[in-house]
Structure 1
């Protein structure tokens, strides 16, 4: 009723003309600009401002971009003003502005936790995977509801205020001129900084949502305004991010030369989502640790190829950089070693406690496998983990003595969801209700980490049942067992207020356990650096009868049994990727910007990586595409 009364007065005093509706809508959108600025202040805490000039540029970008973000829904509202009556227009404006500002607030929260912005992939994962991927506490839901309600009141107050009194329409022109001037200045400045390799400027833009700054290298060099001899190595770093897929996929790059293996060993791959490397410890994983110490090769310096399930899982199955994900998903091309298993008539059993739809493993790693369960039943992750364990034990119990060899894949989710049964013993102090809004630089991670460790202990019990079953059925004499994870998990390990995964390339998020049981090989600990990209070539060359085909035909990795202490690796996230060396991280972004950090995420003054490393990594990122110039 409070909204209707002012609107009736507005109708009585002003005729409902298109011009008046457009003027009101335009000023309503401009009134939302300061709100967007206030919300976006949180992004500033992640930006380094070493000098006054950088601060001036940041001020321009801040004003220009968040004004633009306020105007994106405004274009829709202005179009409605042409056709919608005044009373309906005002109501729609209030609702749309509330949702738009709420989305910006959500992005600030995502970025503070994970250091990446909301994207189409994240919304797809939320819709398709639901609680299998994201865990939301009641505090988050309550905060979201209160935030939307507060925004709704603010937007209603703005709308009512503008119906009573608003600036003259002539001032709209001045407001638009100021808006476009900041846009032009910010993009021009970035174009110059990009051409002159001013990383102080170009490194800031990745923190700003939906910001795609202008570049003009060829023009500025062509006009002679920028000296062409600016660091060749820096231009090589830029080239590293400039490759594009051309005509399609070239995978494998040559026909596989394979022979029937002397034996066809069973292969069981056990992956625990979000399992850190330091969890392979008798305190947290007693069953797996005992099995590993007594029977297996333990790779103590092993890295995933990504800091997310999508990227890490891709590197595990394909042995390739995650930058190839899109083309493999589009073509639904399975990994070479999965296709080889099918050639050899392996019986395949895929059991995942998480959905295989998002990320789309059913269209990539398992694209050639029929009859897999895409989404398991069960509300809680611990229930689904229990389900896949029981399903696996039923599978081995029903196999006959003359059955074909099997490939099994078990993917556990309880550690990712910090999920355990109500009566499972807790490690104290224990965080009973996870509230991500409480995570900040001063938060004590101990109760949170203990909840994670408790979930690790629970999964260890389930894996222990699987390993004991293999022993009791005497399957270990002819079964390769691989136990690892898709990525790690961070609890502010580096003191940079990072929590979870998917946000950086430090050891906390990339380093994972790697336990390899191989019949006939003695237990040992290998300390050289290894990677998920080594798994496909190890299986192909040492188990599946393809030793004569070079690993580089289908992977960028090498056989784990052939010593190769990697000087560099490529890791990916959702949209960016990095060259990971023993001491440094060279992170590149889709817009062409890059950052150089040490392994503790501090800015590094080191020189660029050697020319050979850049060249080899660039080849790895493009080798499996068909290119028109070939």
Structure 2
């Protein structure tokens, strides 16, 4: 076919026609590569979910490739007069596009991330890892892709007249268009109905942004926002995957120690409050028992911090656990061994979906008293429960949640040791930080006095020698120590919001202070191995290690929530969001602009976040 004699209009027309067919075959190639995303992702378990997968697979890659044609090749057809030069340009664009897609599929399989600044930085870091080696081998395929694109380009140019006469362009375009529109309409419905088999596929493909229309539907009376929010809070499984927990069937060496277990959760208490001035009683108690002075919660918020403590897993698994109503292995084992359960709170637990649907699923929970938030009431109820069963030989597990510290701004009927504070009458508006922190310390001092009543009861009932007592917090509380206008919790991952007390009374143990990095994720392996005599390796049911394994040298511990991965190391804290963007901070939580996470460390953390997923080998 010779085009040198054609006029400009005819040349452009031929190139546009050729470009359509060239894009079509590249769409097919992209779809074939896209099957790697499908294989690696969770397979939908309903026919409707599978239908959406098919529509989105065809529609998304059709739109993606054709979009690049419209943005790049279509205008180039008018600007590049030579058909050979234009075809070479298209071959280069196609080669780059398919190579990027191939690299993205590998990133998705290896890190569960699409191509992002983080992924590129890690690849170009020069660190020698297995992943880097595999990525370098992928570039060997570039000449192959380029050669195939050249062959396709030449074949299409020679067959252009015959292909044009078939008049199949419009039907093909309609198929891709119908699939694209249908997939987005299906997602709009699924998003409004919280239909998990579809919503879980939201980020399967690169550059995928399914449409939502909750505001439009609410405006036209098609969606009740309050009902939607209630359902979302009740389910909490919009993007969850099925989970294998534990990875293997548990085995036990013996029936365990048979000791009682008391967990005291002081909401919002940060570790530096345990000092002789603010919490003198707890400080003295810590000196006589096991104190972990460099201990971190698994998150900076209530729910994820609790989840890590009871399950020993990162918060990436929280919705999977909730959707399956799976209780923690520790509590499940205690229940199977005939332990009596007693659960108490100063604010009630029924309103917390994690307590209700997972941690204490099936247990009787205290209701919130709208007129009274009282730690004293919770301790009094626990005391009555303890005395009622004191004569029984049945071992027991008890959980006491104390809430005065987290609710320090509400004040309370207790001593105001540190002034100025809220409600003391000597408040200077220019010293807000000091006022808030003093109020917080007053609440901590009050809780310290309440702890005396708990331990007095254990002593009075001769239970101290047969009861493991664990005192900790769900997260810390910041008063803008980082200078980032951060107050309270759930706003950054500094030590003020993550570092919490971990004090353990373990009968027969020698008092000690442990300074190495420890985590909430370590509590489950400790109880399973040292109290319940689990013989199965801790790695099959937890991401933590036994707190008594002093020889363990850890380079990092995990924290974060459903959106962020946080790797805490002795000198740095690395935060990676769900889009692959990262930030590295020093010990004072000041950002280190030029610092990059180590690829091998990040790979280990990423692996831990998906190791328990059902579709992982």
Bucket of the pairwise TM-score, normalised by the shorter protein: 0.5 to 0.7
C-alpha deviation, 1:379, in angstroms: 3.0
3-state SS of paired residue (2:359): coil
Instruction: State whether structure 2 residue 228 is matched by structure 1 residue 234.
Output: no
Gaps of 5+ in 1: 1-186, 193-217
**Is the partner of 1:416 in helix, strand or coil?**
coil
- The CA deviation string for residues 229-258 of structure 1, in whole angstroms up to 9 with x for no partner, is 998663679x9x989978611110000011
Match for 1:390 among 380, 392, 396?
Answer: 380
Task: Please point out which of 455, 458, 482 is paired with 2:446.
Answer: 458
Q: Which residue of 1 aligns with 2:290?
A: 297
CA distances 1:385-426 after superposition (whole Å, capped 9, x unpaired): 111100111111111433311101001111000044335334
Q: 1:559 to 1:231 in 2, by over 3 A?
A: closer
Distance of 1:219 and 1:466 partners within structure 2: 70
Query: Match of 1:446, SS?
Result: helix
Q: Which position in structure 2 is the counterpart of 1:135?
A: none
Q: CA, structure 1 residues 247+292, in 2 after alignment: closer, same or farther (shift >3 Å)?
A: closer
Distance, in Å, in 1 between the alignment partners of 2:318 and 2:598 is 27
311, 321, 326: which one pairs with 1:328?
Answer: 321
Query: Which position in structure 2 is the counterpart of 1:408?
Result: 398
Deviation at 1:595, TM superposition (A): 2.0
Q: After TM superposition, list the pairs within 5 Å mapping 1:152-167 onto structure 2.
A: none
In the TM superposition, 1:116-195 aligns within 5 A as none
Q: CA deviation at 1:221?
A: 4.4
Alignment TM-score, normalising by the size of structure 2: 0.60
Q: 1:531 offset after TM fit, Å?
A: 0.5
CA distance in 1: counterparts of 2:445 and 2:591, whole angstroms: 36
Quick check: 2:240–2:317 contact (8 Å CA) kept in 1? no
Contact persistence 1:488–1:512 (CA under 8 A):
yes
Task: Quote the Cα distance in structure 2 between the aligned partners of 1:376 and 1:331.
Answer: 25
The CA RMSD measured in Å over matched residues stands at 3.4
Stretch moving more, 282-291 or 442-451: 442-451
In the other structure, the counterpart of 2:173 is: none
Report the Cα distance in structure 2 between the residues aligned to 1:395 and 1:491, rounded to whole angstroms: 37
Counterpart-to-counterpart distance in 1, 2:204 and 2:327: 23
* Deviation readout 1:364-383 (Å, 9 max, x if unpaired): 2112x42222x2325343xx
Aligned partner of residue 278 in structure 2, secondary structure: coil
| 1:383-532 alignment, distance < 5 Å | 384-418=374-408, 419-422=410-413, 424-432=415-423, 444-532=432-520
Rg bigger for which structure? Answer: 2
Distance in 2, Cα, partners of 1:330 & 1:225 = 36
Post-superposition Cα deviations, 1:81-108, rounded to whole Å, max 9, x if no partner, equal xxxxxxxxxxxxxxxxxxxxxxxxxxxx
1:557 to 544, 548, 569: 544
Equivalent of 1:621 in 596, 609, 616: 609
Q: 1:516 to 1:400 in 2, by over 3 A?
A: closer
Deviation of 1:570 (Å): 1.6
2:416–2:424 Cα contact (<8 Å) kept: no
Query: Taking structure 1 as reference, are residues 227 and 620 closer, same or farther at Cα in structure 2, changes over 3 Å only?
Result: closer
CA distance in 1, matches of 2:319, 2:532: 27
Q: Match for residue 189 of structure 2?
A: none
Q: CA deviation at 1:604?
A: 1.0
Please give the alpha-carbon distance, in whole angstroms, between the structure 2 residues aligned to 1:225 and 1:266. 57
Residues in 1 aligned to 2:411 and 2:417: alpha-carbon distance in whole angstroms: 9
Residues 420 and 220 (structure 1), Cα distance of their counterparts in 2 relative to 1, 3 Å cut: farther
Please name the residue that 1:379 is paired with.
Answer: 371
Task: Tell me which stretches of 4 or more aligned residues in structure 1 moved more than 4 Å.
Answer: 218-221, 223-233, 241-247
2:406 aligned counterpart, secondary structure: helix
Question: Could you tell me how far apart the structure 2 residues matched to 1:543 and 1:511 are?
Answer: 25
Cα 1:364–1:234 change in 2 (3 A) is farther
2:89 maps to none
Quote the residue 1:63 is aligned against: none
1:256 to 228, 250, 260: 250
- 1:309-348 maps to which residues of 2 (within 5 A)? 309-348=302-341
CA gap 1:432/1:535 in 2 versus in 1, 3 angstroms: same
Q: Alpha carbons of 1:559 and 1:459: their partners in 2 closer, same or farther (altered >3 Å)?
A: same
Q: Which of 543, 551, 558 matches 1:570?
A: 558
Q: CA deviation at 1:262?
A: 4.8
CA distance in 2, matches of 1:219, 1:405: 68
Unaligned runs of 5+ in 2: 1-66, 73-92, 104-114, 125-130, 132-201, 206-238
- How many residue pairs get aligned? The number is 404
Moved more, 600-609 or 522-531: 600-609
- 1:536 alignment partner in structure 2: 524
Which string of whole-angstrom CA distances, capped at 9 and with x for unpartnered residues, describes residues 517-559 of structure 1?
Answer: 100001111111111000000000000121x211111100000
Q: Specify the SS of the correspondent of 1:595.
A: strand
Q: Measured at CA, do residues 236 and 409 of structure 1 come closer, stay the same or move farther in structure 2, by a change above 3 Å?
A: farther
Q: Report the TM-score, using the length of structure 1 for normalisation.
A: 0.59
**Aligned: 1:370 with 2:357:** no
- C-alpha distance after superposition, 1:103-140 (max 9, x if no partner): xxxxxxxxxxxxxxxxxxxxxxxxxxxxxxxxxxxxxx
